[in-house]
């Protein structure tokens, strides 16, 4: 700025004018004017601090004593009832999560699908083209996470097949219906949090005739029109996104004529077509519209993830009953028995009284030292082989997946695929090391070795599902009648086969009879117990491992009861009780008779 321009902006004040402006309120100076004033090296200093002391005006504080108001309440708080509040509006995370996936064979993707279920916190996964054989397929052991179950409808030929993996807490019953030539389906009633829906999974192979499919699917929709909540999932192999496709338009018209709505509006195949569909009734609010369709690199089809308006089910719970026996010592048991009539049992003459006193006193002693406790646990997916390396690899994989979702670039897809393969490799390595150690340590323990191998190969290992066609109260009698009749049939068959070929011979009548038995000694009973395994039954008055520790104290009473049984030639009633554990041989039978044939008893006495 030149001197002429700068001088034109200068304002001159007299002394009297400045004194008049002293006590006035300062105004905000324009930035341009302030800059010009600053450039002239002349400042207007306002409110300059002085050495004069400032006078402070004190605020008066008034304090008074408030009179306490006395109010008489007519409400008695003890009469109020506390009402439990309910959260009416639940967040989306509290809804049931479902997914539809055409996996193109689970045989080489078992670990991928297992991880996919756990990482996405799915409740139900519908699979098409599962390629499973039956419910005993060993691939199911690695496919289904802990706390989940599977229902499978195989094709019985190469390829195809549909399956439903669900939380075990979800009640599911398979519905049988007419079989069709043009498509495969699984029809089931699904009960989730006391809400019943009918879920149907369909797969139509592209080689099947479209004309036959439309006729059969029309009849199928007519038969299911009477149900309430309905959910149809599947791969129909129609490009419903192509408005020029005649078959796709005919399929959509068929759905519209039956008042059905198709929810998937984006491609579900890596070639860019919508093949995997989610169908509900028109006007139904069962399925939320915000479907998540994204390539997880499991197959050439994208998983279709969605939520339904039903409260998310918890994992299955299991009640376990146990005793804390670690702190129980033999000295404690002996001290407890000293305060009872245990050592006077030998004075009783009746064998039933002796056995009953023996069982009762030992049961009471065990309850005093280690009472029964019940605990409820949730069967969550649990991997004993999981380690920190897998955890860190999963974090890197998830980070790569988020980056790929943001950019959708090929390079980021390749990075995600590499990270995903790393996770799968570490999981396989950890599982191999874990089970190898289990097998190595269980070489000399046959039971432990069989348990490990059955866990790896038998999907039905540990399943204790009983027939639902017969009430639980009637099952013991049904089992007893079935096996009794089976013995009768075997005997009748033996008599029929040998009745025409019996050769009578002169048999000697000098056959000794077993009428006298030698009594056992205390040392013999102790030796037998020491040599026996430590396996126990819930009916045992004392666990075998504790019995062996207290053997010098208890074995004389046991020997006395055994010798009394030999002398009286009878078995006490307490020794005639057994527990039967039914072992399922084959799953999937629908009739009660077939289910009984598939069960064998196991006796623990």
pLDDT in tens, 486-521: 888 888 888 665 555 555 556 566 666 777 788 899
pLDDT confidence bin for 484, thresholds 50/70/90? confident
| Of the ranges 154-168, 265-279, 306-320, 427-441, the best mean pLDDT one | 265-279
Structural domains present in the chain: 3-39 (no CATH), 93-311 (3.60.10.10), 388-457 (no CATH)
Q: pLDDT at position 284, please? A: 86
Q: How deeply is 272 buried, as exposed, middle or buried, from its count of CB atoms within 10 A (0-12, 13-18, 19+)? A: exposed
Q: Which two tokens stand for residue 448?
A: 């432990």
- 158-211 confidence digits (pLDDT tens): 888 999 999 988 988 888 888 999 999 999 999 998 889 999 999 999 988 999
Cα–Cα distance between 229 and 427 in angstroms, integer? Answer: 40
Work out the pLDDT band at 316, boundaries 50, 70, 90. confident
SS3 502: coil
Q: Which residues does 457 contact at the CB level (< 8 Å), separation at least 6? A: 138, 141
pLDDT band per the 50, 70, 90 thresholds, residue 213: very high
Residue 233, classed as helix, strand or coil, is strand
Integer Cα distance of 547 and 529 in angstroms: 9
Q: Percentage of residues in the chain with pLDDT exceeding 90?
A: 34
Note the pLDDT tens digit of each residue in 329-350.
999 999 999 989 999 998 998 9
Which is more confident, 419 or 604?
419
In the numeric block, the tokens 């009539």 are attached to 341
Q: Are 461 and 454 in contact (CB under 8 A)?
A: yes
SS3 50: coil
Could you report the per-residue pLDDT of 34-65, keeping only the tens digit for each?
666 555 554 444 444 555 555 555 666 656 55
Give per-residue pLDDT as tens, 555-597: 999 999 999 998 888 889 888 887 776 665 555 444 444 444 4
Query: 393: pLDDT confidence band, cut at 50, 70 and 90?
Result: very high
Q: What is the per-residue pLDDT for 595?
A: 45
Between CA 415 and CA 122 the distance in angstroms is 25
Instruction: pLDDT band for 137, please (50, 70, 90 cuts).
Output: low
DSSP conformation class of 11? -
When pLDDT is averaged across residues 308-336 and rounded to a whole number, the result is 89
Please choose, from the candidates 275, 271, 249, the residue with its C-alpha nearest in 3D space to the C-alpha of residue 100. 275
Cα separation values, 558 from 148, 342, 525, Å: 47, 11, 8
* pLDDT at residue 363 in the model: 92
Q: Record the pTM.
A: 0.67
More confidently predicted of 113 and 578: 113
Tell me: pLDDT of 25 over 70.
no
5: pLDDT strictly greater than 60: no
The answer to whether residue 275 scores a pLDDT higher than 90 is yes
Q: What angle do CA 598, 601, 602 make, to 5 degrees?
A: 135
**Tokens 């009698």 sit at which residue?**
477
Write down the pLDDT at residue 4. 47
Report which DSSP code applies to 460.
T
> What does the mean pLDDT of the chain come to?
81
Taking alpha carbons only, the member of 259, 256, 251, 304 closest to residue 283 is 259
Residue of higher predicted confidence among 595 and 93: 93
Phi-psi region of 381 (alpha: psi -120 to 50; beta: other; left: phi over 0): beta
pLDDT at 6 over 80: no
Helix 246-257, helix 210-223: angle, nearest 10: 10
Token code pair at residue 96: 């049931």
170 Cβ contact list (under 8 Å, min separation 6): 123, 124, 190, 191, 192, 313
User: Which run of H or E residues covers position 215?
Assistant: helix 210-223
E-assigned strand segments in 236-344: 260-262, 276-281, 292-293, 304-311, 317-322
| 298 closest CA partner among 156, 119, 137 | 119
CA atoms within 13 A on the CB side of 196: 5
Closest by CA to 101, choosing from 246, 268, 244, is 268
């Amino acid at each position: 700025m030149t001197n002429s321009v700068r001088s034109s902006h200068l304002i001159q004040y007299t002394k009297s004018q400045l004194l008049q402006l002293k006590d006035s309120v300062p105004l905000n100076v324009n930035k341009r004017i302030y800059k010009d004033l600053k450039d002239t090296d002349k400042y207007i200093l306002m409110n300059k601090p002085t050495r004069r002391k400032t006078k402070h005006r004190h605020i008066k504080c008034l304090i008074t004593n408030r009179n306490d108001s006395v109010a008489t309440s007519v409400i008695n708080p003890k009469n109020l009832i506390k009402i439990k509040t309910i959260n009416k509006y639940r967040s989306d995370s509290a809804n049931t999560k479902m997914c539809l996936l055409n996996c193109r064979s689970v045989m080489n993707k078992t670990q991928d699908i297992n991880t996919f279920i756990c990482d996405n916190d799915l409740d139900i996964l519908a699979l098409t083209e599962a390629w499973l054989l039956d419910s005993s397929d060993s691939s199911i052991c690695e496919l289904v996470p802990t706390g989940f179950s599977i229902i499978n409808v195989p094709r019985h030929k190469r390829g195809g097949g549909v399956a439903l993996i669900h939380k075990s807490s979800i009640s599911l019953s398979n519905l049988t219906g007419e079989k069709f030539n043009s498509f495969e389906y699984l029809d089931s009633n699904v009960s989730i949090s006391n809400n019943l829906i009918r879920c149907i999974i369909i797969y139509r192979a592209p080689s099947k005739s479209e004309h036959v499919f439309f006729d059969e699917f029309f009849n199928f929709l007519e038969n299911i029109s009477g149900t309430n909540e309905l959910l149809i999932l599947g791969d129909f192999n129609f490009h419903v996104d192509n408005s020029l496709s005649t078959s796709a338009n005919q399929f959509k018209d068929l759905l519209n004529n039956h008042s059905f709505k198709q929810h998937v509006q984006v491609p579900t195949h890596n070639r860019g077509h919508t093949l995997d569909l989610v169908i509900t009734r028109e006007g139904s609010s069962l399925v939320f519209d915000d479907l998540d369709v994204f390539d997880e690199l499991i197959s050439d089809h994208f998983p279709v993830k969605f939520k339904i308006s039903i409260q998310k089910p918890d994992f299955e719970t299991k009640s376990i009953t146990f005793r804390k026996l670690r702190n129980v010592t033999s000295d404690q048991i002996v001290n407890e028995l000293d305060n009872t009539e245990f050592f006077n049992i030998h004075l009783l003459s009746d064998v039933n009284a002796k056995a009953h006193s023996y069982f009762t006193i030992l049961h009471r002693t065990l309850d005093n030292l280690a009472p029964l406790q019940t605990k409820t646990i949730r069967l969550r997916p649990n991997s004993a082989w999981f380690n920190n390396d897998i955890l860190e690899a999963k974090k890197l994989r998830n980070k790569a997946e988020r980056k790929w979702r943001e950019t959708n670039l090929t390079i980021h897809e390749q990075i995600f695929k590499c990270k995903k393969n790393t996770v799968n490799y570490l999981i396989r390595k950890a599982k191999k090391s874990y089970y190898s150690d289990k097998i190595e340590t269980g070489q000399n323990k046959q039971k432990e070795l069989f348990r490990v191998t059955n866990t790896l190969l038998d999907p039905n290992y540990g399943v204790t599902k009983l027939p639902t066609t017969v009430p639980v109260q009637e099952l013991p009698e049904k089992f007893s009648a079935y096996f009794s009749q089976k013995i009768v049939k075997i005997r009748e068959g033996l008599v029929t086969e040998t009745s025409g070929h019996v050769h009578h011979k002169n048999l000697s009548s000098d056959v000794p009879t077993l009428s006298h038995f030698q009594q056992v000694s205390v040392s013999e009973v102790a030796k037998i117990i020491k040599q026996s395994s430590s396996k126990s039954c819930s009916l045992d008055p004392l666990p075998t491992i504790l019995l062996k520790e207290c053997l010098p104290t208890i074995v004389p009473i046991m020997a006395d009861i055994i010798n009394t049984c030999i002398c009286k030639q009878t078995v006490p009633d307490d020794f005639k009780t057994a527990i039967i554990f039914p072992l399922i041989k084959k799953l999937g039978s629908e009739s009660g008779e077939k289910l009984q044939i598939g069960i064998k008893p196991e006796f623990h006495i």
